[in-house]
A and B are shown apart, each in its own frame.
Chain A
């Protein structure tokens, strides 16, 4: 994994952000910013300029789907991975249509999360 990645983790659970942060740290990625909901993420995205975003779906204030739509409406093209408990097929399709590049259903193993990140970055680079 490219250690120069700038990763924005968006989840209302600090525990989940810590779990994801630990995985990226194992790959030597240190440029990591956190946000607790979609609105918080939007307020940080301009200054942080992430090259990858991981976002939960169900969050207070602004959910992950609204965040993704907002980011794409602003013309931002960085890869976004939805990491959520929402496993229903129609919801996966809805998220993809909104601009999500990949989808990880909780619970996940660190290997699966790392694999989805690699896949997403490879597709974006192709």
Chain B
């Protein structure tokens, strides 16, 4: 069962970013996959999946820096990627990871548009096929990063979207 790795310290999830990411996930599912998806309340902490999964990450730089990652466990991932790509792709294959990377790219790009922050640069997708539980531990969690996870439920299962914002905690403390 997907879950977020909760932090012990209180973390101020940036509501605008969380809302924008949820909006972009819904927009992607409704437009390109013709299906509904429900995103839960953002949970502080980085994503951790005990099952094997594919992680696709987009780096953000500029006024809003960090990463947006889509994590696809096998059952949900195969179903979602088939809906996106138009055909079933082997879980973890290069084609599967390419599709996951494009999904992450679209989620990140649409979220930036919803937030309305200018001059944010999107990196090219980086993907990984995580086969052991600990190997997927996010590198997104560093002392100054604010990390949160959205669980997105669709037919076929649940996928996770992890957002890590560089320097967000330091900025929040200073404010």
A115 within 8 A of B: no
Q: For B118, give its contact among A14, A90, A112 (CB under 8 Å).
A: A90
Instruction: Place the interface of chain B in its size category.
Output: 20 to 34
A-B contact count (CB 8 A): 65
Q: For B110, give its contact among A18, A22, A60, A106 (CB under 8 Å).
A: A106
Q: Across the two chains, which residue of chain A brings its CB closest to B125?
A: A13
Most buried by B among A13, A18, A105: A13
A15 B85 Cβ-Cβ under 8 A:
yes
CA–CA, A112 and B30, complex, Å: 13
The secondary structure that dominates the A interface is loop
Distance in Å from the Cβ of A91 to the closest Cβ of chain B? 9
A85 B31 Cβ-Cβ under 8 A:
no
| Sampled A-B contacts (8; CB under 8 Å) | A12-B124, A15-B84, A22-B86, A85-B105, A85-B108, A88-B119, A106-B106, A107-B32
Binding site for B on A (CB under 8 A): 12-16, 18-19, 22, 58-60, 84-88, 90, 105-109, 112
